[in-house]
Amino acid sequence: MAWDRDTVHHLFSQSEARSIISIPLSMNRKEDKLTWHFTKDGRYSVKSGYKVAKTLKENELRSPASSGNKTGLWKWLWALSIPNKVKIFLWRCLYGILPTKGALIRKGVSIEGVCTRCGMMVESNEHAVRDCMWMEHYWVVSPLRFRLPEISQRGTLGDWIVFMKEHGDKEGHALFAMLMWGAWCSRNDVTFGKNTHDQSHYIQMAINRLHEHAAALSNRTKTLRDEKLDRWMPPDAGYIKVNTDAYIREGEGSWIGVAIRDERGQIVTTLSRLISTEFDVAIAEAIACRDGRHWN
């Protein structure tokens, strides 16, 4: 007729455990039963379920991490210069839907909910990435030099991300996002029994990925710029330009195509035909040039 305090403290955080233990237990020895809290008779109905879902959705839209918020949070997130998978990870943080042990237990998965690293607290979103005692050194030695007592006061991960969005510059935002992702990677390695490293390894990994992404974007920009130099150029006034191509299809023959445009880039005419013989590509292109040359 009393709470098993050790079990409650083992499965839940300190604040949750205090709330649970404060619930008075009935002195009547009755069997437990499921009760729907949102109706007077304790019975679930579709109408009451819809009403609860609607209320939750309205609360979500009023939250700092909602797409309807005027801060432009989503626009800021997708514009960050970070890999797409890290953007998706940050989006999951904002919605509070990381696949932590605590989240899996709430979905009915039968697993041990205590954090693998510290073995003390139930693994929530905040605990996995920020509040676990194992993460304290990670954030202290990171380039951002965060201290755990300070950042733990930022509320949920969504609240923390919103706070960081409103401070610093684009480079700092990208670094913060990558360090968040690095913290999650370290959690996954420990949870799934992979080769684990110290915190500095994951910090350096996050920084390296950020630099690699920046280099890849720079190379892509250079490639696009070079491709623009090879773009189609119009002929002089009063002239036309003939562009040709050829394609060999095994068992069918050679396809050739011709496009003729004037000095404004307007199409004058096009033609294409199948040559029954399977010519070499160079010969097929030469035939296409001949057909274009003979057009009048």
The b-or-e profile of 36-75 (16+ CB within 10 A means b, else e) is eeeeeeeeeeeeeeeeeeeeeeeeeeebbbbeeeeeebee
Residue 105 within a domain: yes
Q: What percent of the chain has pLDDT over 70?
A: 86
Residues 132/122, Cβ–Cβ less than 8 Å: no
Same domain, 78 and 202: yes
Q: Encoding tokens for residue 170?
A: 């684009």
CA-nearest of 208, 98, 48, 93 to 143 is 208
Same domain, 140 and 223: yes
Same domain, 182 and 118: yes
Same domain, 77 and 212: yes
Identity (one letter) of the amino acid at 198? Answer: D
At residue 70, the pLDDT reads 44
Cα–Cα distance measured from residue 242 to residue 259, given in angstroms and rounded to the nearest whole number: 6
- Report how far Cα 216 is from the mean position of its chain's Cα atoms: 18
At residue 13, the pLDDT reads 80
Residue 57 within a domain: yes
Same domain, 144 and 246: no
Cα–Cα distance measured from residue 183 to residue 139, given in angstroms and rounded to the nearest whole number: 9
Residue 215 within a domain: yes
Same domain, 57 and 77: no
* Domain closes at, from 29, 61, 93: 61
Domain count, the chain: 3
Q: Encoding tokens for residue 195?
A: 């080769």
**In angstroms, what CA-CA distances link 255 with 228, 240, 242, 271?**
28, 23, 17, 11
Residues 241/261, Cβ–Cβ less than 8 Å: yes
86, with CB counted inside 10 A (0-12, 13-18, 19+), is buried
Cα–Cα distance measured from residue 174 to residue 157, given in angstroms and rounded to the nearest whole number: 16
Residue 236 within a domain: no
Cα–Cα distance measured from residue 177 to residue 3, given in angstroms and rounded to the nearest whole number: 41
Residues 66/98, Cβ–Cβ less than 8 Å: no
Residue 134 within a domain: yes
Per-residue confidence in pLDDT tens, the chain, 296 aa: 788 988 988 888 877 888 888 888 877 777 778 888 888 888 999 999 998 888 877 665 555 544 445 458 888 999 999 999 999 999 999 988 999 999 888 888 888 889 998 888 899 999 999 988 888 889 989 998 887 666 666 688 988 898 889 888 889 999 999 999 999 999 999 988 876 778 889 999 999 999 999 888 877 666 656 655 557 788 888 889 999 988 877 767 788 889 998 888 888 888 888 886 666 778 888 888 988 888 76
Interhelix angle 170-191/157-165, rounded to 10 degrees, is 160
| pLDDT tens digits, 83-125 | 999 999 999 999 889 999 998 888 888 888 899 988 888 999 9
Cα–Cα distance measured from residue 289 to residue 295, given in angstroms and rounded to the nearest whole number: 10
Same domain, 172 and 286: no
Same domain, 118 and 13: no
CA torsion angle 118 121 100 170 (round to 10): -70
* Domain closes at, from 229, 251, 282: 229
Residue 66 within a domain: no
Same domain, 12 and 38: yes
Residue 235 within a domain: no
Query: 3-state DSSP call for residue 175?
Result: helix
Determine the Cα angle at 113 with ends 110 and 114, to 5°.
150
Is the model's pTM score more than 0.75?
no
Residues 31/133, Cβ–Cβ less than 8 Å: no
Cα–Cα distance measured from residue 97 to residue 124, given in angstroms and rounded to the nearest whole number: 10
CA-nearest of 218, 151, 153, 227 to 183 is 151
Instruction: Provide the domain limits for residue 270.
Output: 241-293
